[in-house]
A and B are shown apart, each in its own frame.
Chain A
């Protein structure tokens, strides 16, 4: 039995000094429950994702001690996607009919700070200044621009689009449009990427109520169906964050593997996608992930972006809520934010940033350390 999303909730992303991550998670869960017209006691299971926001299953002390199964999921930047994937399995297996997925986080300001030894890498890697996600993103796009003769000017254009879309999203963190000149002229972080081309670790929460597809309309008049959820780890030959070495034998990325799997499971082609939310931890990632997910050919991004195809009114709208660039990245919530946006868009409830033409099919993609990716295909 397929799974459907029948309730959605979000706590605005950004910085909220007076709120804990658990407060935001609780708010998002209650919003999702109300959207589905159910109470917490009706949930048979929950999957929760958070890196720095606290242990998800402890939310039961606030939400209610009903005795439900509540599993904590931790998969780096893909944690939220993994939690949704597990919920889908719980429904598909026939074990459960109705449950909750919640992702939340609250990271300290500044770049993420991973522990080398937790990643199975010697401490020297961090001590000598190599354990930086920012370096990986910069070196991946640096090589990509060279390999596929992609124009470096696209980096600022992608970021400018993100902030334009963020300006129309009341739940986004960065809500001021920035010009290409402002973006290119901001502090150089890791050549070729400047400060405004990177997303920042942040705060926020997203929650869903999921149920068996055949029961969906009893909870919500416009359910969204999870046609596919995929989650993969890296294979040999991919180029990942925190890699002291790479193989000269180049292979596919986890993004490519997860996207292919999702499209296969859904029985559709990338060209069938009406709206896509793809991981844009920096603007180069959006460019590379456009091709890695199969939404376009490698090297074709320039023509698409220049023609406006990836804008809200374009033929392939991407990151319509402003993506990670405008929303920041609270790790546990980030992948679920993408799904939230697609549900809004498929319901026709996205307001000022609603994609025209009655979109039917949405795609999401997250990528995270140490080389994992999760994708979804959603339909009305």
Chain B
């Protein structure tokens, strides 16, 4: 799959096994997402960029039920989408989810990272962004 990342430095791309990019404090091991230059825990400025695990556990979730205002780039014809926090071990990251049916989402569920097209109403856009999807989403029962 081709595509332009929605922002530089968020994830490794292009890649067969894409990963989110965070920052880890060399002093206290705190991990942030996205990367930043100062540590919010120990206040040192000694961060290094790290690639984050591709698999995690759903920590919380909701469904976005209405179209957000500007600067949201999604199509005018709105489709609800899932949003969640995913526990990757050293950091819990916020992400869109592939699922938007409450019955298919549950705290504690195993999920994995995917880079997917982010469709807009502009045919010239070829954005890609990140989302998490249930592991084996084809027949997921939760």
Contacts and interface: CB of A to CB of B under 8 A. Distances in A.
A-B complex is real? yes
Interface of A: 110-111, 113, 115-116, 122-124, 126-132, 134-135, 138-140, 142-143, 146, 187-193, 236, 243-249
A143 B40 contact: no
Nearest to B108: A146
Given A123-B7, A139-B62, A245 B22 contact: yes
B34 A244 contact: yes
22 contacts: A123-B7, A124-B7, A126-B71, A129-B64, A129-B68, A129-B74, A130-B96, A135-B62, A138-B62, A142-B60, A142-B107, A143-B59, A143-B60, A146-B107, A187-B65, A188-B63, A188-B65, A190-B62, A190-B63, A192-B62, A236-B30, A248-B92
Nearest to B62: A138
A127 B129 CA distance: 10
Interface residues of B, number: 42
Contacts of A128: 6, 72-74, 96, 118, 129
Contacts of B59: 143, 246
B62 A127 contact: no
A373 to B, nearest CB: 18
B93 A140 contact: no
B71 A123 contact: yes
Given A138-B62, A142-B61, A130 B83 contact: yes
B71 A190 contact: no
B92 A246 contact: yes
Given A123-B7, A139-B60, A245 B91 contact: yes
Interface in B64-107: 64-66, 68-74, 81, 83-85, 87, 89-96, 102, 107
Nearest to A113: B69
A124 B41 contact: no
B92 A129 contact: no
A110 B72 CA distance: 15
B32 interface: yes
B9 to A, nearest CB: 9
Q: Which 3 A-B pairs have the closest CB atoms?
A: A138-B62, A124-B7, A143-B60
